Structures are given as structure tokens and as C-alpha cells.
Amino acid sequence: MGFLILAPPIKCTLVTVRTARQGEALEMGKLTQEYRDECSTVLMDEDDMNRLRVKEDAIVKVTTKVGSVELRVRPTMNSPGVIAVPLGPWANALIPTDTSHTGMPSYKGIPAEVSTSMGQGITSLDKLLGDLYGGA
């Protein structure tokens, strides 16, 4: 193995999505491994992955103005500049709460940045939930 060469972060637009696997896992239970695995994934355009110099299953860090999480990356085709994260606690950590007084936060179309991870591993559900305790 050579030195780890870090590519510069990639600016992109985040959309949260429903996936079939997430739907199935949701019905199996949100505390199951299937749910955790599916929801801690980011779908990224193959070319963008190449630019970031990451391969399938690598851990990447996704950051928006409200927070950042580390997710496993999976390739998609022909979606340059758009990343997709299944709806769930990981996505929630990236979503701003502003609704423009409609009731609806922006779950899609959020400016984001993807960078290579320094190897802390996928953000755990416990950590995400832990952040919610104690209130705001």
C-alpha cells in the first residue's frame, strides 16, 4: 500500500431518498442491523467517487451546514453532483430545520460536501441518538 493521497472534498447536492431495502429494513425494525446498514449509506455518482478517489464500501464524511456524519459509499450511475442518503437518523443529522413557514423542512436539495474519512468508521446509531438526549 502506498501513502493515502487525500483528494479535495467534493461539493454536491444532498437528497434524502427512500430505497426498497430501507423500506424492507424499516418493516423489520429500525433497531436491526439491516436498517442500520442501509440508512448509513450514501449513494454517489461513480465519476464523483473516482474524483474523490474512493471505492465502493469506503467510508466518507458528508457535511452540511448543520452537521456531518460518516457513511459507507455506494456507486450510482449518471448523477454527477447529486448524493443520496436514505431517510433515517444519519440523514437527519444533515437536514436543516427551516421550513420557510410551510411545515416542511428541506429534506432534498441541500448543499453538501463529501470528503474522505480519516478512518473513524461509520457514525454509530448510538452516537446519533446520544446526541438527541438532554434536549435542546
**Binding residues vs other proteins (CB under 8 A):** 13, 15-20, 23-24, 26-31, 66-67, 76-79, 82, 84, 87-89, 92-93, 95-97, 99-109, 128-136
Task: Please provide the DSSP assignment of 81-117 as one string.
Answer: TEEEEESSHHHHTT-----TTTT----EEEEEEEEE-
Cell 410551510 belongs to which residue? 102
In the complex with other proteins, which residue's Cβ is closer, 8 or 130? 130
In whole angstroms, the minimum distance from the beta carbon of 10 to other proteins comes to 15
In whole angstroms, the minimum distance from the beta carbon of 118 to other proteins comes to 22
In whole angstroms, the minimum distance from the beta carbon of 59 to other proteins comes to 20
Three cell numbers at 105? Answer: 423542512
Residue type for 132, please?
L
